Structure 1
């Protein structure tokens, strides 16, 4: 069974915003309490479970705080669930050690309807314990088991997921396409299509610097500083929204209209170690591009092929297979063997599209790097259907 997630902005009244903040504070308080107790017990050589912490909290701690009875009991239950998942990821070496949550930073809480379904649809939605809430955009009529309400840049968002049937494959106009990712052009397809890099963060750097400078001049802890920080957060949210919207449009087009999408396994963390290009690379969102392609190709009946990161797609001639060194400053590939001149990114995209099409005994990456005789060139053209 496949899942589809929704996230939309809530249109809250003046009375509803404090209620959301109280529930988020409740979740944060319980999470930090459980994490502190778990760390102390772990240092003493014990192996406490989240179930034991939850049972102790319900029977001995919660009765001491009357304000907790005025909020939904589902909040603290999901707080312990989140704590247990964070601890499990830490021991599985999939994440860092759980950290304490801070007020105003990633405030969120999760609630359900005690096993009963939650109906969502239209502009008005009735949530358990919270009551009726409105959204800025209409949602389709659907049923979900739980909802998460989170705060970002001073605004509250509603998110949930629903089960959807396995999507039928969409008609494909192109059987196979190679996609070369870069900084100048975000994505270059082997068909010749080029998607330029929007550089959302780079264009907003001047305004961000101005807002951050104004925020730093406000008195710490004052209401004016809080308002200034919200303006900074909203600008960051705008940059992220522009980038995500652009990536969604590209990846949806690739998954819907191509039977097979071939990309490179980029070492993004290693690329970010280059401090001269780290900002530009982070502004592209290479990891998010691949993550979206993975689930969208599965949804629309396409297949995603990830080529090894050491495959020299930029060094091989896409016409004859000749290989030469290509420094980053050289943006045009000129083959001294067959005299083909192509854009560097387009040449790499075509090589990715041709990857694996040769006979199993001699794949593309094993083409002799310096020898390009007439027989080898003719064989390469025929097998690659070029």
Structure 2
């Protein structure tokens, strides 16, 4: 018989989807299988989109005709399947049409990110992939559903660092830069973190994040070195394209340098994601309530230089992962209004700068103050700009 404490924990625990991105290491045969499934997914999407467009045109002319939907389009594609399609996974077709139906729903909702009408997929795209909901994890390897009539089939080895616990859902497998990856969503039971009684606020800046306990550097020395190398490779590749024209991309030296550029881009992404994941985990472990600013990143991109700094600081990614981790572990994230004067307000007396007294990215030219200084002309307080912003955000709790 369970104790009262055990019952309470069992009730509080929630089912969440936790996704693991892993590297796949297929053998030669399974590489061909993955490539064919990627091509088949693209074929199904394009056929489904063409069928959907034809049905919609017919519906606009004759309203008595059936209105296109994912169910109708899927049945149309299944009814017209060719013989070669039966050697491939049927789930690839059904999930492709389901995603197409979702894309059409998003098209009628302009608030969706990357809003737009569904377009045809190209085989020249840098990323190709497919989905399946019948994959399994067997002895630490990924096993895909085996089509009928296929004799040879092998499990796919995956990277060792992955956490493979939980119930596996719809798996996304894709090919990018010659390497195979998989997104493995696991349904897991997560227990809320213990209450600490402490609160924090995070002030995001280009190159660093300030919070109650200190500063997190988002642009460490190793990242700056990688950015210098990336800049060098980009210049060299651009020079080769200018000199050799379209033939440049077919040269062995060009291909080798492009591979180095892609390698460094992956390293940059891994370092950035590692910093953000560790920092957000620290926040939900140590604090019950976390205040961040509701920034409009697109409006802040005033120039290509500012855009690069904002992209490297990963403001959007930080908010995204902090949001779902707070949901996972029962913590509360508070969004400060985008017009809240966290930088211009004095955390000591509450005076808010206005007009020519405001602090800009370069400080204040009239009063000759630095970017990192906050001088209150009401109470005379001299504060660090970022610490003052953190204190103002913390006051919202």
TM-score, normalised relative to structure 1: 0.81
Q: Deviations over 1:213-252 (max 9, x none)?
A: 3773462784846666555444333322222222111111
Structure 1 residue 319 displacement after superposition: 1.6
Take 1:31 and 1:227, find their aligned partners in 2: how far apart are those partners?
A: 33
Q: 1:214 to 1:144 in 2, by over 3 A?
A: farther
Equivalent residues in 2 for 1:105-124, closer than 5 Å: 105-113=126-134, 118-120=135-137, 123-124=140-141
Q: Is it true that 1:212 corresponds to 2:229 in the alignment?
A: no
Q: Check conservation: 1:119, 1:142, Cα contact below 8 A.
A: no
| 1:153-199 C-alpha deviation (Å, 9 max, x unpaired) | 21111222122224222353x611111001142x1013333434346
What is the root-mean-square deviation in Å for CA atoms of aligned residues?
A: 2.5
Instruction: Specify which of 349, 352, 368 is matched with residue 393 of structure 2.
Output: 352
Partners of 1:175 and 1:322 in 2: CA distance: 26
- Does residue 67 of structure 1 match 2:84? yes
* Residue 42, structure 1, aligned to residue 66, structure 2: no
| 3-state SS of 1:165 partner | strand
- Encode CA deviations 1:315-371: one digit per residue, 9 max, x unaligned: 111122222221221221122333332221111011101125xxxxxxxxxxxxxxx
DSSP 3-state at the match of 2:283: helix
| Cα distance per residue 1:290-332 (max 9 Å; x no partner) | 1111111122221100000101111111122222221221221
Assess, with a 3 A threshold, how the Cα gap between structure 1 residues 3 and 17 changes in structure 2: closer, same or farther.
same
Q: Tell me the SS of whatever aligns to 2:247.
A: coil
1:80 aligns with 2:131: no
Whether the 8 Å contact between 1:208 and 1:235 is mirrored in structure 2 is no
- How far off is 1:273 after superposition? 4.2
CA distance in 2, matches of 1:53, 1:227: 43
| Equivalent residue number for residue 176 of structure 1 | 199
Instruction: Report matched runs for 1:1-386 at 5 Å.
Output: 1-44=15-58, 45=60, 47-60=67-80, 62-63=81-82, 66-93=83-110, 94=112, 95-103=115-123, 104-113=125-134, 118-120=135-137, 123-129=140-146, 131-139=154-162, 140-172=164-196, 175-185=198-208, 187-198=209-220, 202-210=227-235, 212-213=237-238, 216=241, 217=244, 219=247, 222=250, 224=252, 229-324=258-353, 325-330=358-363, 331-356=372-397
Quote how far apart the aligned CAs of 1:9 are: 0.2
- What CA distance in whole angstroms lies between the structure 2 residues aligned with 1:206 and 1:281? 17
Contact 2:233 2:258 in 1 (8 A): no
SS at match of 1:137: coil
Distance 1:33 1:226 in 2: 33
Deviation readout 1:8-66 (Å, 9 max, x if unpaired): 00112222212111100000011011112323443452632222221121112x12xx3
Give the Cα–Cα distance (whole angstroms) in 2 for the partners of residues 334 and 138 of structure 1.
49
Which shows bigger deviation, 126-135 or 282-291? 126-135
Seen in structure 2, the aligned counterparts of structure 1 residues 229 and 247 have a Cα distance that, compared at 3 Å, is same
Displacement of 1:90: 0.7
Q: Is the 8 A contact 1:211 1:231 kept in 2?
A: no
- The 1:102/1:230 distance shift into structure 2, 3 A limit, reads farther
The more displaced of 42-51 and 337-346 is 42-51
Greater Cα offset, 238-247 or 294-303: 238-247
Residues of 2 paired with 1:215 and 1:79: CA distance?
Answer: 39
Shift of 1:3: 1.4
